[in-house]
Amino acid sequence: MRTAPLTRSSTGQRRRIWSYWRFYLALSPFYVLFAVFGLYPMLSTIVLAFQRWDGLSARRFTGLDNFAFLVKDPTFWQSLENTVVLFLMSTVPTLVLALLLAVMLQSAVRFTNVYRIAYFIPNVTSLVAMAIFFSSIFSTNFGLVNAALRSLGIPQQDWLGQPWGIKIAISTMIVWQWVGYNTLIYLAGLQAIPKDQYEAAKVDGAGAVRTFFSITLPQLRPVVLFTVVMSTIGGLQTFTEPQVMVGNSGGTGQSGMTVVLFFYRAAFLDNDYGYAAAIALSIFALVLLFTAINWRIFRGRSEDR
């Protein structure tokens, strides 16, 4: 007895699409949900960006008004600058520290599992709870940071009351939350580098530093690209940290106002939906732009070799 495999048509002829219904049914949940809660809203966002709407009265087409207003809105530019500065202030230390820790962790033989689990825990901890914790650490009156400064004889700072203090507090939290995750990603990347390359370097008499720059780092490049792309997508969408630490206003000098917080305010506090849609589109453009820059930098290097 011969049974037709599920993957091929039994008659050898093109079967009617209907005979594949089981497969389409199996795939349908994702595509139906995406159509209703993803694609349709995204297309509406594009239309909405050219309209004025407060959610109650009728929608009105206003052409490019929202965008014209956006480029003249100082808060928008401020939020763009804040987002990029926060992204750099958090991502650069995160990735450098993670790489350092990963190299050290690779040469450690004992307790590696304890380290790995402990390093990862910050990444699965509630953002809101941790934002509350970090705002207490940087608090003027009883924060640990100021207590440390005072005991060293340095005047205490009003961390969450001044623009740079806010940025330092927020990026400290992001670094704390993401170093461990990236360490483990790098560690997995390091362990995938073939051992014989290191042997060869040893035979050639290369020292630890040279080996790191001529073998480890180039081999790790795809993994580094992955971490940079992930950090970019996450970093440009920072919302919870500033919203919980300095509130919807963005804090003193709106220093904690990120683009996503700006979007949230326009949409759900001011009910200025058309304007919010224009902001959402510019966030999307920003993510695409930065992803393209990342690719350019890393691709360009690999073609030089």
Partner 1 sequence: MTRYRLRGLALHAALVLALLVFMFPFAWTIIMASNTTADIYRFPPKFTFGGHFGDNVRHVLENVAFFPSMANTATVAISTTLLVLFFDSLAAFTFAKFRFPGRNALFVILLATMLLPAQLAAVPQFQTMAILGWVGSLKALIIPGAANAFGIFWMRQYFQNSIHDELIEAATLDGCGFFGTYWHVALPSARPALAFLGIFTFVGSWNDYMWPLIVLTNPDHVTLQVALSTLNRSHGVDYSMVMTGALMAMIPLVIVFAIFARQFIKGATEGAVRG
Q: Which of residues 284-303 bind partner 1 (CB under 8 A)?
A: 284, 287-288, 291
CB of 241 to partner 1, least distance (A): 10
Integer-rounded Cα radius of gyration of the chain: 25
Footprint on residues 49-68 left by partner 1 (CB under 8 A): 55
Burial class from Cβ neighbours inside 10 Å (0-12, 13-18, 19+) for residue 164 reads middle
CA 264 to chain CA centroid, Å, is: 17
Q: Which stretch binds partner 1 (CB under 8 A): 76-84, 211-219, 249-257, 264-272?
A: 264-272
In the set 45, 62, 78, 214, which binds partner 1 (CB under 8 A)?
45
In the set 10, 68, 92, 111, which binds partner 1 (CB under 8 A)?
111
CB of 12 to partner 1, least distance (A): 14
Footprint on residues 216-245 left by partner 1 (CB under 8 A): 222-223, 226-227, 233, 237, 239-240, 243-244
**Short-list 280, 286, 288, 262, CA closest to 44:** 280
Footprint on residues 130-189 left by partner 1 (CB under 8 A): 130, 132-134, 136-137, 139, 141-142, 144, 147, 150-151, 176, 179-181, 184-185, 187-189
In the set 104, 217, 292, 297, which binds partner 1 (CB under 8 A)?
104
Q: Which stretch binds partner 1 (CB under 8 A): 60-68, 78-86, 88-96, 268-276?
A: 268-276
Q: For residue 206, give Cα distances in angstroms to 187, 202, 296, 305.
A: 22, 6, 31, 20
- What CA–CA distance (Å, rounded) separates 48 from 41? 10
Per the CB < 8 A criterion, the answer to whether 169 and 159 are in contact is yes
Binding of residue 120 to partner 1 (CB under 8 A): yes
Identify which of residues 16 and 72 has a Cβ nearer to partner 1 in the complex.
Answer: 16
Q: Which stretch binds partner 1 (CB under 8 A): 64-72, 73-81, 124-132, 197-205?
A: 124-132
CB of 254 to partner 1, least distance (A): 18
User: Contacts with partner 1: how many residues (CB under 8 A)?
Assistant: 100
Q: For residue 125, give Cα distances in angstroms to 176, 195, 242.
A: 11, 35, 17
Binding of residue 119 to partner 1 (CB under 8 A): yes
Token digits for 21? 């219904």
Identify which of residues 5 and 300 has a Cβ nearer to partner 1 in the complex.
Answer: 5
Q: Which stretch binds partner 1 (CB under 8 A): 38-46, 63-71, 74-82, 198-206?
A: 38-46
Q: Which stretch binds partner 1 (CB under 8 A): 68-76, 77-85, 127-135, 195-203?
A: 127-135
